[in-house]
Amino acid sequence: MSVESLFPRLEALLPKVQKPIQYVGGELNSTVKDWDEATVRWALMYPDAYEVGLPNQGVQILYEILNELPETMAERTYAVWPDLEALMRSEGVPQFTVDAHRPVRAFDVLGVSFSTELGYTNLLTALDLAGIPLDAVARTDDDPIVLAGGHAAFNPEPIADFLDAAVLGDGEQIAIAISEVIREWKGEGAPGGRDELLMRLASTGGVYVPKFYDVEYHPDGRIKRVAPNRSGVPSRVFKHTVMDLDEWPYPKKPLVPLAETVHERFSVEIFRGCTRGCRFCQAGMITRPVRERSITTIGDMVEAGLKESGFSEVGLLSLSSADHSEIGEVAKGLADRYEGTQTGLSLPSTRVDAFNIDLANEFSRNGRRSGLTFAPEGGSERMRKVINKMVTEEDLIRTVTTAYSQGWRQVKLYFMCGLPTEEDIDVLGIADLAKKVIKAGREATGSRDVRCTVSIGGFVPKPHTPFQWAAQCDHETVDRRLRELRNSLRGDKEYGKAIGYRYHDGKPSIVEGLLSRGDRRVGSVIRAVWEDGGRFDGWSEHFSYERWMTAAERVFSGGSVDVDWYTTREREEHEVLPWDHLDAGLDREWLWQDWQDAVSDVEVEDCRWTPCYDCGVCPTMGTEIQIGPTGKKLLPLTVV
C-alpha cells in the first residue's frame, strides 16, 4: 500500500507561515526512497525547530546508515512552529516528513533523538499532529513504534508513558539491529502485533520497553522498586557502544540545507567519550570509554565532506577536542591542506592550557584571531576541585596571557552557578578571576584593547553522574548570586568596561532539573503543560516557568512529592533512583564514592594517563579505551 505525499496540501499553507523553506525538504544529499520497495520504514525526528534539528549529527548519521540498508528507508521530521501547527490543525494536515512529505503515522518506527529534556513537549505535539495516541498503551498495530534515543534517553522515565521503547548509547549498530528484528517480524506476517515486536526487542536487553516494567513506590514518595512485569524481560537494560569509529565514518554525505541553521559547517567527530571526569558532565560519564577516530579517517572524512557539501567551515567535534592523541598533527595537517582555500577550521570544547593556543593559532593561520573560549566552570579553586575540573588560577592566567600576547583580543570564559557545596564567595570569585585576566592581558600586550566575556549558566544535576544524588540549588539563590556577580563586575571602574557578562536566570534550570531526574509521575506534568499550550521549552520566548509550576502543583496536589522533592532534595545513598535499571556501565558504588570525594575536595585523574580507577564501564560493557597515536600524518591533497 503506497502512501500519498502531503505536499500539495502543505504547500497551500506555506505562504502563510514564517520561513517556509524549512518545511519543503530537498536538501543536498537528502534521500527519497521508494515506499513500496522498503520493508522497514523509519521516521527520524529531532524534537526542535528545523534550524536546530537539521545539523544534529545523531540524526544525520542514522539517516544515512539506515538509507544505505536495502529494504530499509529513513525520512526526517522536525517540530513545526506554532504558526504552522495551527494551520495544520485547522486544515487537517498531519505531521509529515520533510523528505517525501509522507505522514509520520504511516512509518514503522518514529525514532526521536533527545539531546535535552526540553524537547518533551514537542514530542507530544508531533504525536498528536501525527494522529498517534499519546499513551503508548493506547496505540494499535497501525501506529509506529515510538522510540527514544539521545543523551536524555538515559532517563526516559518522565516520558515513559509516551514511549514504546528507548535505547541508550551509540545508535549506529542498534538501529540496524532493530531494523533487522522488524524486518523478520514483518516477514513472518507480524505475529502477535506490536506487543510481540516489542517483546522481541526487549528480550535482547538492548532495548528498553517501559510498559514491561512496573514501578512501586514507598508511602513517602520514594521508589520502592522497578521490575519487569512479564517473563523474558531482563531486569536491566544496557547501553550500546560503537568500538571502532573508523568503521563508521558517518556522515559521509552531510545534509546541506537551504534554510539557515544553527551550525553552518561540516562536523566530524574526532573521538567519542571523555574520561576527564568532570563530575557535573553527564556526557562525559555516559559515553565512556574514549574511542578515537584515526587521523587518516578524520582527514578522509573532512576531504569527502567538504567536497560533498560545499561548506566553508569544518568543526572537529568531541567532548574535549584537544585531548585527541594526535590533535597537533591533525591541526597542522588540515591547516596545511586547506591553506589559501578560504576553509575555516574550528575546534570547540577545548581545555585551559597553552597547547590549546598553539592549536588555535594553527587553525587561524590564514584567518582572523577573534575570540578563544575556555571553560573553568567553577569560580574558585575549591569549587573546581569539587567538580573535578582540574584547572588552577595560575593555569588560567598563564593561558589567557599567552592568547592575548599572540594576537587574540577576546577571551570567553564559561562558568556554572548553583554547583554542589557552592557558597556566595565561589561565584563572586569569578569576578576576581575575570579582573585578573584583563589585568594580565593588558600587561602582556601593553594595550587596553583586550576583552573577556563571562558566560554563566545554572547547574542541573544529571542522572548517571556523581551529582545524581545532589540537591539542586534553588533558583532564588542562583539568581541572587548571579546578580551579585553582575554588580561586582559592572561596578568595577578599572576593569568593568573590559568584561562582558552573559547569564540566564535560574528558573528554567529548575524545570530542566525536574525533567532530568524525574520519574514516571512527572509524565502527567509534561502532558498538563503541553495541554496548556507548552511548546519549544528550550526557547526563552516560548518557555513559561509559571505554566510548568502551575501544572506541577495541580498534578502533584495531595500527593507525597512536588517540584522541590525532585529538584532541591538531596538523595540518600540507597534510594532507588528512577534510572537505576538502565545501565550506562558506571558502577553505582564508584559513582557514590566519587560523590563523597567531591564534597571532600578530592580530585580524580584521567584514566587515559593514570591507572584505571574502576568506574566500571569497560568490564561491564566489554569495552576498552581506544586511543592512538597511530604515528601517521596527513599528506597534501592531490592538486586537481
> Which residues make up the interface to other proteins (CB under 8 A)?
7, 11-12, 14-16, 19-21, 23-28, 256, 258-260, 264, 306-312, 342, 368, 640
Alpha carbons 45 and 120: distance in angstroms, whole number: 12
Residues listed for the chain: 640
The single-letter code of the amino acid at 589 is E
Looking at the Cβ atoms of 173 and 312, the one nearer to other proteins is 312
Alpha carbons 399 and 72: distance in angstroms, whole number: 50
- Shortest approach of other proteins to residue 24 CB, angstroms? 4
Alpha carbons 608 and 603: distance in angstroms, whole number: 15
- Shortest approach of other proteins to residue 283 CB, angstroms? 30
- Shortest approach of other proteins to residue 365 CB, angstroms? 14
- Residues 286, 289, 290, 292, Cα dihedral to 10°: -110
Looking at the Cβ atoms of 80 and 290, the one nearer to other proteins is 80
- Shortest approach of other proteins to residue 26 CB, angstroms? 6
Element (H, E) at 51: helix 50-53
- Shortest approach of other proteins to residue 85 CB, angstroms? 18
3-class SS of residue 493: coil
Looking at the Cβ atoms of 370 and 596, the one nearer to other proteins is 370
3-class SS of residue 162: helix
- Shortest approach of other proteins to residue 34 CB, angstroms? 18
- Shortest approach of other proteins to residue 366 CB, angstroms? 10
Residues whose CB is less than 8 angstroms from the CB of residue 328 and which lie 6 or more positions away in sequence, other chains included? 355, 358, 359
Find the largest Cα–Cα distance for the chain.
77
Q: Are 132 and 63 in contact (CB under 8 A)?
A: no
- Shortest approach of other proteins to residue 93 CB, angstroms? 15
Looking at the Cβ atoms of 275 and 343, the one nearer to other proteins is 343
Q: Are 165 and 110 in contact (CB under 8 A)?
A: no
The single-letter code of the amino acid at 554 is R
β-pairing, 223-228 vs 213-217, is antiparallel
User: Measuring CA to CA, how many Å separate 263 from each of 257, 312, 404, 522, 638?
Assistant: 11, 12, 27, 32, 29
Looking at the Cβ atoms of 28 and 599, the one nearer to other proteins is 28
Looking at the Cβ atoms of 28 and 190, the one nearer to other proteins is 28
- Shortest approach of other proteins to residue 308 CB, angstroms? 8
β-pairing, 109-113 vs 582-583, is unpaired
Looking at the Cβ atoms of 229 and 638, the one nearer to other proteins is 638
Alpha carbons 187 and 165: distance in angstroms, whole number: 21
Looking at the Cβ atoms of 342 and 600, the one nearer to other proteins is 342
- The candidate with the shortest Cα–Cα distance to 465, out of 573, 570, 584, is 584
Looking at the Cβ atoms of 396 and 450, the one nearer to other proteins is 450
